[in-house]
Structure 1
Amino acid sequence: MRRRTTVQSLITVATALLLIVGTARSLLDNFTLKSNDRQIFQFYSEPEVYRQRRPVFASSKDQIGESCNVSGGKWIWDNKTYPVYTEESCPYLSNQTSCQRNGRPDSFHQKWRWQPDGCNLPWFDPLKLLDILSGKRLMFIGDSIQRGQFESMVCMVQSVIPEGKKSFQTIPTMEIFKAEEYNASIEFYWAPFIVESISDHATNHTVLKRLVYLDSITNQGKSWQGVDMLVFESYAWWMYHKKINKSYGSSDDIKEYNVTTAYRWALETWANWLESNINPLTQKVYFMSMSPKHLRSWEWKPGSNENCFNESYPIQGSYWGTGSSFTIMKIIQDILQELKIDVTFLNITQMSEYRKDAHTSVYGERRGIPLTKEQRADPKKFADCMHWCLPGVPDTWNEILYAHLLQNHRNFL
């Protein structure tokens, strides 16, 4: 009898404990779902069907008002929250952008935060971005500057995805990162002129012999059709010389034209393609403004005769150098205003103008090969003042893109 009573008491206690634990867990789960601070271990422990249906939790901090001009502001030192990733934490960085791996002795360029005037950018949440991209494709289209932004976005996202749930693939003209449980992809498409050219091979190309087919975009366009979010950029390859060889109407009719004239015609061809192929109800299109070069130090340091090499701090105060073109900016503005569909213009030029310190300089590659010791010793000749180190400035470009993606996603809900 005593043994039976003891057993019944133990069962009663165990049942009570289970009820207490179950109630506490239910309360905790309810609190977790209401919280904006979602943890990756909670996310991946949930059933797949529920993960696919989870909405994006947006707060007032995620909003950028129409009056918020994110292109105007200043760089603020922030070594507590930046960088948002490191070279070591991201296996997808190329040698071209891995400055510290290539010998850069400082990391100052990684620790500046862009502070817009009168507003704040939302904090980048990779899980929110993955929710936005669920079942979708985000494609960056352009040259090696755009490839750097693609690498930046992949690095900003990939750390929250467990091993075995992500993949990276390189195919002709494209690089593709996939977050498999979200059925989402972040992609890069090599198209340095946007329209077709003899430089459209992803690796076998040269900037020296430029021939652009200003009225032809069909081949590339086939790969862009149906993509949910398209981010275009094209500038650096146009500006190698003031003249460029082009054909229009017939590939045999080749003439030399001013770059600005040819650039306008190319964007008109691109605009016509958008209007004929983009569904504005289901697709979003973005155009990145030009990424500036910092080739002449006398522009920010009067009396000097160097370039971006050995620069460690942003330019303070008003600045616009010869590495950017007001004429090209005006052409872009004109084309976008005439478009019959909405294209979001992401103006990253002015903020990037200040960042003379963040280029790859002698800590990158030249034609796909790391600089030799002798070349690094001659920065006046070999410093790359066009491409950017990662982590670095392109991360901020992606924070701005993320803010717009979040805003547009919320509008579609």
Structure 2
Amino acid sequence: MKKLNSLVVLLFGLLLFLAASFRVRNGDWKAITEKIASGECDFFSGQWVYDDIKYPLYSERQCRFMSDQSACEKFGRSDLVYQKWRWQPDGCNLPRFDGARLLAKLRGKRMVFVGDSLNRNQWVSMVCLLDTSTDGSNKAMETHGNLMSFKLKDFNASVDFYWSPLLVESNSDHPVLHRMPDRIVRAHSIEKHAKHWTEADILVFNTYLWWRRRNMKVLWGSFKEDDGVYKEIESIRGYELAIKAWSDWLEFHINRTKTELFFMSMSPTHSTGDEWGTESGHNCYNETLPILQDGYWGEGSDPRYMHLVETTIQELKEKGVHVKFLNITQLSEYRKDGHPSVFRKQWDPLTEEQLKNPRSYADCIHWCLPGVPDVWNQILFAHIFS
């Protein structure tokens, strides 16, 4: 009888603890939501704090679906300090990613990342965050053309990536064979891609990297016809046309009561070392620490593109379509240490010249995982639940 009473007391105490924890968690989220709404909590301004206790959020080897493009440790990177930086926003704390909570929301639903290889980088991060925070092996990766789909079968959920580097139709749409000397877009044509993601429950867009050239060609007509009209224009003008086509599609085709919409700002590159005070000709190769200069902004991040997206999102809001713009550019600018550099799978054999000069083939565009994109997803997670 005493044992039974002790067990009852223990269970009652456990229930009280869980109830208190639930109230605290919900209180925290309520406070965060109120701070975000009031502008008091700005996830996008702050500083990187070294934290080797709570970070990284997972290990590279834990993630069964890690991409060789981001597996820096696997390909020889031995300095792992880059994995242990925590983003500390001004005025509030960034909630820790909770995979179980996100999966509960995603049950029976579909989340799609749409865009270029930086959005794929973020998608792989999300896949790893979910894979390593849940038990069970009933998960699979499927590829169908431009679509890569991470299936969480126990939840009847999928977290997908759709390759569409310029959002609109282009001659770079092939998921593998997309490097073209002349980049051509059909600036007003998005339906070819949109039919694959319009019905999703959560959509996360990006596009910037593939627009980083002075000029590009715009096609009025079809790639399959010979009577199309080509015009070479400034890339910023082409970007404006593409974002207009994207916004028009959302206005007339998206389910406003079902689909949550997000747009990620540009991901910075670190290819010119003299921008942060190192020797001319250097880049992210051998960089092991973040940039400490407050407000540092590299020349590779063109604010005109960001302004175009922000203006378009405001116009959509006035039409009743709500897109959350997640400005991850500034916080990522500091992280010259977070790129794969030479520590990734090389898709082509290295030349003798490249072997002599590793800086010449260092990847200073994409990001190691675990790493910076995990913070992007923490911010995305916070906004999904706020």
Identify if the C-alpha distance between structure 1 residues 207 and 233 changes in structure 2 by more than 3 Å, giving closer, same or farther. Answer: farther
Contact 2:171 2:180 in 1 (8 A): no
1:222 maps to which residue? 195
In structure 2, what is the equivalent of residue 203 of structure 1?
A: 176
Aligned to 1:383: 362
Where does 1:99-118 land on structure 2 (aligned, <5 Å)?
Answer: 99-118=72-91
What is aligned with 2:305? 328
Work out which of the residue numbers 218, 226, 239 in structure 2 matches 1:246. 218
Query: Retained in 2: the 8 A contact 1:85–1:391?
Result: yes
Distance in 1 of aligned mates of 2:356 and 2:72: 16
Deviation at 1:162, TM superposition (A): 2.4
Which residue identity does 1:233 align to in structure 2? N
- Compute the displacement of 1:248 (Å): 3.0
Partner of 1:270: 246
Cα RMSD (Å): 2.3
Q: What is the CA–CA distance in structure 2 between the aligned matches of 1:175 and 1:162, rounded to whole Å?
A: 22
Aligned mate of 2:166, from 193, 203, 225? 193
Which of the numbers 105, 108, 111 marks the counterpart of 1:138? 111
Percent pairwise identity: 42
* Counterpart-to-counterpart distance in 1, 2:300 and 2:313: 22
Query: CA contact under 8 A between 1:140 and 1:146: conserved in structure 2?
Result: yes
Indicate which of 276, 281, 297 corresponds to 1:300.
276
Partners of 1:376 and 1:383 within 8 A in 2: no
Partners of 1:403 and 1:397 in 2: how far apart? Answer: 10
For each residue in 1:318-357, what CA deviation from the matched residue of structure 2 results, as whole angstroms up to 9, or x when unmatched? 3111110011111112211211211000000011111111
Indicate the residue corresponding to 1:360 in structure 2. Answer: 340
Sort the Cα spacing of 1:404 and 1:376 in 2 relative to 1 into closer, same or farther, 3 A. Answer: farther
Whole-Å Cα distance in 1 between the matches of residues 133 and 312 of structure 2? 39
Match runs of 1:11-160 below 5 Å: 16=1, 19-20=4-5, 23=8, 26-27=11-12, 30-31=15-16, 33-34=18-19, 36=21, 58-60=26-28, 63-64=32-33, 65=35, 66=37, 67=39, 68-160=41-133
Aligned to 1:279: 255
Alpha-carbon contact 1:141-1:230 (below 8 Å) kept: yes
Letter of the 2:114 counterpart: I
1:288 paired residue among 264, 268, 271: 264
Deviations 1:133-155 (A, max 9, x none): 12211111111111110010111
Partner of 1:261, secondary structure, is helix
Give the distance between the partners of 1:355 and 1:371, measured in 2 at CA.
26
The runs of 5 or more residues in structure 1 that have no matched partner are 1-15, 38-55, 408-413
Which residue of structure 2 lines up, in the alignment, with residue 182 of structure 1? 155
CA contact under 8 A between 2:100 and 2:134: conserved in structure 1? no
Give the match for residue 164 of structure 1.
137
- Scaled by the length of structure 2, what TM-score is found? 0.90
**CA shift for structure 1 position 254:** 1.2
Given candidates 380, 396, 400, the residue that maps to 2:375 is 396
Relative to structure 1, the CA distance from residue 256 to residue 116 in structure 2 (aligned partners, 3 Å threshold; closer, same or farther) is: same
Aligned-pair distance for 1:17? 7.2
What is the TM-score normalised by the length of structure 1?
Answer: 0.85
Structure 1 residues 57 and 78: alpha-carbon distance in aligned structure 2, compared to 1, 3 A threshold: closer
In 2, Cα distance between equivalents of 1:349 and 1:260: 18
1:255 CA displacement: 1.3
Counterparts of 2:128 and 2:329, CA distance in 1:
22
